[in-house]
Amino acid sequence: MPKANELGVTPQSEDFSAWYNELVLRAELADRGPVRGTMIMRPYGYRIWELLQAELDARIKATGHDNVYFPLFIPEENLRKEAEHVEGFSPELAVVTIAGGEVLEQPLVVRPTSEAIIGESFSRWIESWRDLPVLVNQWCNVVRWELRPRLFLRTTEFLWQEGHTAHADEAEATKEMLLAAGFYREVTEQVAAMSPVVGDKTPGERFPGAERSVSLEAMMRDGRALQSGTSHHLGTNFAQAFDITYATADGRLQHCHTTSWGMSTRMVGGVIMTHGDDRGLILPPRLAPYQVVIVTLGAESDSGPVAEAAGSLRSELGAQGIRSRLDDRTHVRPGFKFNEWELRGVPLRVELGPRDLAGGSVTVAHRLSGEKEQLPIAGLAPAISERLEALQVDLLDRSRAFREGRTRRADSYAELVEGVATGFVLALDCGNPACEARLKDETTATPRCVPLDGTPEQGPCAICGEPSSYGTRVLFGRAY
Amino acid sequence: MPKANELGVTPQSEDFSAWYNELVLRAELADRGPVRGTMIMRPYGYRIWELLQAELDARIKATGHDNVYFPLFIPEENLRKEAEHVEGFSPELAVVTIAGGEVLEQPLVVRPTSEAIIGESFSRWIESWRDLPVLVNQWCNVVRWELRPRLFLRTTEFLWQEGHTAHADEAEATKEMLLAAGFYREVTEQVAAMSPVVGDKTPGERFPGAERSVSLEAMMRDGRALQSGTSHHLGTNFAQAFDITYATADGRLQHCHTTSWGMSTRMVGGVIMTHGDDRGLILPPRLAPYQVVIVTLGAESDSGPVAEAAGSLRSELGAQGIRSRLDDRTHVRPGFKFNEWELRGVPLRVELGPRDLAGGSVTVAHRLSGEKEQLPIAGLAPAISERLEALQVDLLDRSRAFREGRTRRADSYAELVEGVATGFVLALDCGNPACEARLKDETTATPRCVPLDGTPEQGPCAICGEPSSYGTRVLFGRAY
């Protein structure tokens, strides 16, 4: 087992939290900013976000949404228009009181989310049924003051996309909310190789102002949940607050039904905690800034035939659409380079030295399994491609198996308490806030969601024994 | 000539400023935000920015720069470290004084630009010559409080990219500064079809804290300049302020030379004012959200054979990489649709009705020339492609010819004053701030730049008659 002093990172198996914090810095994913709770996304970390962003943006556009950009600053009075909304976000707001050298008459809130500024525009843009649906999305920064900040997971400023839509009726809005949850699921599973449970938030856990919130709950390798994408049906709450109405075909004036949905840079934290191990990150190929690192060996590894072979291999990989990086440093030992790229989670390492070259083959080391194999240089790119595709699938399977293995059914409070200590629990829940509060006080666990694909079931609440609500078991867990 | 009431927009030839303001709203490019000086970028306007962004981002990445993200909030003390920098930006700052329900001990500045936060990281990241150069870029929002806001041109918040780099010596930093100016020129000319003059800012017009600033100065159709991209050599000013040093190969400690460069959403304003005419926008094909609009004609234009033909034409255009939009509305007249898409600047309109279909041909209307031609439906996509490519070139040629036609040489103050009333003037300049101040007071014109490709020339200053500086003529003009 690697020691902390060898890689500079505490092993995951010893202290998950220390491992995470140290790894984020050591792998050069992010730094802490000078203001408490802020984050500097370094090239390696930002690239993961960019790759995720491109995949998500393509799906958002393909389903008819247009990108837009709304201002960062929201007048305080706008935020107050939806009562639950302002109550939910008030404690977390950053407020601009001075601008252009003068004290502002009305303070400006730095957006924690944009419903309160988008609602006003929707009300101006929408006149008749012909204008519906309105389907927009924006990529931006938002600010929520965090008391216990953590890089990627809870930062006072984070990057995300927020989709906002307006529809003629509830059915259309519900369809939209599920559409967004659907492409979040697709990106989470197919791109981030994370296997989430998708379900409805219980009333106490909903977005402030929402009628219905659907979330994705992925399991990290310490058994905790990470909410990785949420989609909200806002009913007519915001439409009433911001006067978003339309004339129907027969001339009646009706309120729109609106939705909003978001996925953020905390997904990068999810990728780290879903796949990483004692030796560091393991990046799913679709999100890896470098899918392959070519490490040249030997005293003259940065020149001559080895360097030439490495160069042409890079071109071949590039032509195959594979992102690669060449490490031809001569001032550090090969072992140092191997450790570094393992720590940074590069899926495959190609070792190329004079002896390999003479034999017409290379050594390919697999980050996940630790296995090594000899492969002929000729036709290497397609062979690498196959391995990357297989790894993408393996990581998703591994994530699903891990979550399923750490999810149990509980029919008593004791079982529930025991289960949330190490993973997820499916239990019947009466829906009484007192029961949820008791569990939270005693274990920090909360109802994560009511799985959309849950088997219909009723019976006594696992906490108090009263008849259950929700019609199926609720997923409980401790969460980030 | 169209009337204001027909299109809802004052003709450009009557009142350029009113035309611009009305067109931005009427073409649904942007709206004013609820906070004075802020802007809502609507789908059509944001898409132009996204297309520009993709072109620029590709060039930034291809030249070895990595994208990153630094925090929005900068501690006030960071900003104070570079004296000229803080002096230049102080009047424009927005300041957060309350966060998480409490008054902050140290106010936070909302970034007006990020040198003052990036410098601190560079100082931590860079140790030896092996770490150089550092080449990063970020896409983000910045805030500068504007007294006379104008959509896209001067908004209190705008979107941009800011490149930041650190180098071993002045020569490397100069090379980098010119590299950035080079890809700005390429994007401005090849993508936005604007023909700028590229040159050095005179000392009074430099970026606060820069040793050398190179800018692109494009000419709008009212003869005014729009600065569309700037690249700065910051010397060791920020390196000294933020302690950015490196150990040379022989172990000496030296300050880095840094650069920064930016291009913003004001480019969208530049595109509007470079190409538009009395009938509205004219978008260069590479930035047009829709390069072609297909307008179906006839009572049943949204169903039957016409709709089918329009559908397959869209597929053919898509396969050719052409962005198209179908307008099959039946509740508005064709003339209304024609006007609308002309106002919104779609380069080509394909008119498709039952008669065209029967004849196997369509009418293609050119937005720039106003000409119409009949083209066979078979093989239409490649024909459209050719026309879009030709238009892209025509627009650049037209922009260059317009600028050249409105640029004169002046050897006396009277000629200089006369010239800047309608366009650019090339004149010898002694470099005395008093001369520049006099010209500005009397005409609002300023030295825009010292063209990089200016012919060597010396002689008496056109303003005061003293010997000229800069070794070539300086470009003067009134600017946005």
Partners of B47 on chain A (C-beta within 8 Å) are 66-67
**pLDDT reading at B276 higher than 80:** yes
Contacts of B197 (CB under 8 A, 6+ apart): B216, B217, B218, B403, B424, B448, B449, B451, B475
Q: Do B34 and A117 touch (CB under 8 A)?
A: yes
Answer yes or no: are the C-beta atoms of A24 and A32 closer than 8 Å: no
Searching chain B, which residue's CA lies closest to the CA of residue A147? B100
**pLDDT reading at A392 higher than 70:** yes
Percentage above 70 pLDDT, chain B: 98
- What architecture is the A285-402 domain classified under in CATH? 3-Layer(aba) Sandwich (3.40)
- For chain B, residues classed under CATH 3.30.110.30 are 407-477
pLDDT in tens, A217-258: 999 999 999 999 999 999 999 999 999 999 999 999 999 999
Residues composing chain A: 480
Nearest to B270 by CA among B219, B200, B222: B219
Give the rounded distance of the alpha carbon of A364 from its chain centre.
30
Nearest to A194 by CA among A275, A135, A248: A275
Instruction: Please tell me the least confidently modeled range out of A18-22, A295-299, B413-417.
Output: A295-299
Q: Do B34 and A78 touch (CB under 8 A)?
A: yes
User: Which CATH superfamily, name and number, covers B4-275?
Assistant: Bira Bifunctional Protein; Domain 2 (3.30.930.10)
Rounded to an integer, what distance in angstroms lies between the CA atom of residue B254 and that of residue B247?
6
**pLDDT reading at B2 higher than 70:** no
**pLDDT reading at A2 higher than 60:** no
Q: Do B145 and A99 touch (CB under 8 A)?
A: yes
- In CATH, the number for domain B292-387 is 3.40.50.800
Nearest to B470 by CA among B414, B426, B424, B406: B426
Searching chain A, which residue's CA lies closest to the CA of residue B65? A43
Nearest 5°: the CA angle A247, A248, A253 is 45
Partners of B34 on chain A (C-beta within 8 Å) are 71, 74-75, 78, 117, 120
- When pLDDT is cut at 50, 70 and 90, the band that residue B298 belongs to is confident
**pLDDT reading at B3 higher than 70:** no
Give me the pLDDT at residue A71, please.
Answer: 98
- For chain B, residues classed under CATH 3.30.930.10 are 4-275
- Work out the average pLDDT over B144-173: 96
Residue A332 has a CB neighbour count (10 Å cut-off) of 10
Rounded to an integer, what distance in angstroms lies between the CA atom of residue B268 and that of residue B48?
7
Secondary structure of residue B68 in the 3-state scheme: coil
- For chain A, residues classed under CATH 3.40.50.800 are 285-402
**pLDDT reading at B133 higher than 70:** yes
Rounded to an integer, what distance in angstroms lies between the CA atom of residue B4 and that of residue B12?
10
Rounded to an integer, what distance in angstroms lies between the CA atom of residue A135 and that of residue A113?
17
**Which amino acid belongs to residue A65?**
H
Searching chain B, which residue's CA lies closest to the CA of residue A43? B68
Nearest to A297 by CA among A365, A344, A347: A365
Q: Which residues, in sequence order, are bridge partners of residue A212?
A: A233
Q: Is A38 on the interface with B (CB under 8 A)?
A: yes
Give me the pLDDT at residue B6, please.
Answer: 63
Where do the H-state alpha helices sit in A74-198?
76-79, 83-89, 115-125, 170-186
Q: Do A46 and B33 touch (CB under 8 A)?
A: no
Answer yes or no: are the C-beta atoms of A231 and A180 closer than 8 Å: yes
Q: Is B184 on the interface with A (CB under 8 A)?
A: no
Give me the pLDDT at residue B74, please.
Answer: 96
pLDDT in tens, B315-343: 999 999 999 999 999 899 999 999 999 99
Give me the pLDDT at residue B102, please.
Answer: 94
The residue among B32, B73, B143, B325 with the most chain A CBs within 10 A of its CB, best to mutate, is B73
**pLDDT reading at A331 higher than 50:** yes
pLDDT in tens, A144-189: 998 899 999 999 999 999 999 999 999 999 999 999 999 999 999 9
Q: Is A47 on the interface with B (CB under 8 A)?
A: yes
* Cα of A100 to nearest chain B Cα, Å: 5
Q: Is B302 on the interface with A (CB under 8 A)?
A: no
Give me the pLDDT at residue A398, please.
Answer: 98
For domain B407-477, give its CATH number from 3.40.50.300, 3.30.110.30, 3.40.50.2300, 3.40.50.620. Answer: 3.30.110.30
Q: Do B110 and A96 touch (CB under 8 A)?
A: yes
Secondary structure of residue B138 in the 3-state scheme: strand
Give me the pLDDT at residue B426, please.
Answer: 98
Q: Do B34 and A94 touch (CB under 8 A)?
A: no
Beta strands in A78-234, from DSSP E residues, in sequence order = 94-99, 102-110, 134-143, 157-167, 197-200, 212-219, 225-233
pLDDT in tens, B346-387: 999 999 999 888 999 999 999 999 999 999 999 999 999 999
Answer yes or no: are the C-beta atoms of B227 and B280 closer than 8 Å: no
Q: Do A67 and B47 touch (CB under 8 A)?
A: yes
* Cα of A3 to nearest chain B Cα, Å: 25
* Cα of A46 to nearest chain B Cα, Å: 5
Partners of A120 on chain B (C-beta within 8 Å) are 34
Rounded to an integer, what distance in angstroms lies between the CA atom of residue B380 and that of residue A362?
50
Percentage above 90 pLDDT, chain B: 90
The residue among B28, B68, B141, B165 with the most chain A CBs within 10 A of its CB, best to mutate, is B68
- For chain B, residues classed under CATH 3.40.50.800 are 292-387
Q: Do B74 and A47 touch (CB under 8 A)?
A: no
Between β-strands A245-247 and A253-255, what pairing exists: parallel, antiparallel or unpaired? antiparallel
**pLDDT reading at A4 higher than 60:** no
Percentage above 70 pLDDT, chain A: 98
Answer yes or no: are the C-beta atoms of A111 and A74 closer than 8 Å: yes
What strands lie across the sheet with A157-167, from one edge to the other?
A66-67, A134-143, A157-167, A257-264, A225-233, A212-219, A197-200, A446-451, A474-477, A424-427, A407-409
What is the residue-averaged pLDDT of chain B? 95
Nearest to B27 by CA among B387, B271, B226: B271
**pLDDT reading at A3 higher than 60:** no
Give me the pLDDT at residue A1, please.
Answer: 46
Q: Is A147 on the interface with B (CB under 8 A)?
A: yes
**pLDDT reading at B422 higher than 50:** yes
Q: Which of A124, A141, A145 sits opposite B72 (nearest CB)?
A: A141
- Burial of B57 from C-beta contacts in 10 A (0-12 / 13-18 / 19+): middle
Q: b/e per residue, A14-51, with b = 16+ CB within 10 A?
A: eebeebbbbbbebbebbbbbbbebbbbbbbbbbbbbbb
- When pLDDT is cut at 50, 70 and 90, the band that residue A6 belongs to is low
Give me the pLDDT at residue A298, please.
Answer: 83
- Work out the average pLDDT over A423-452: 97
Rounded to an integer, what distance in angstroms lies between the CA atom of residue B274 and that of residue B402?
9
Secondary structure of residue B159 in the 3-state scheme: strand
Instruction: Please tell me the least confidently modeled range out of A256-270, B198-212, B235-249, B295-309.
Output: B295-309
- When pLDDT is cut at 50, 70 and 90, the band that residue B442 belongs to is very high
* Cα of B416 to nearest chain A Cα, Å: 34
- Work out the average pLDDT over B236-263: 97
* DSSP letter assigned to residue A189: I
Most confidently modeled range among A212-221, A298-307, A356-365: A212-221
Answer yes or no: are the C-beta atoms of A403 and A438 closer than 8 Å: no
**pLDDT reading at A5 higher than 50:** no
Q: Is A66 on the interface with B (CB under 8 A)?
A: yes
Q: Do B95 and A92 touch (CB under 8 A)?
A: no
Q: Which of B35, B71, B156 sits opposite A40 (nearest CB)?
A: B71
- Work out the average pLDDT over B76-101: 89
Rounded to an integer, what distance in angstroms lies between the CA atom of residue B45 and that of residue B43?
6
Give me the pLDDT at residue A318, please.
Answer: 97
**pLDDT reading at B1 higher than 60:** no
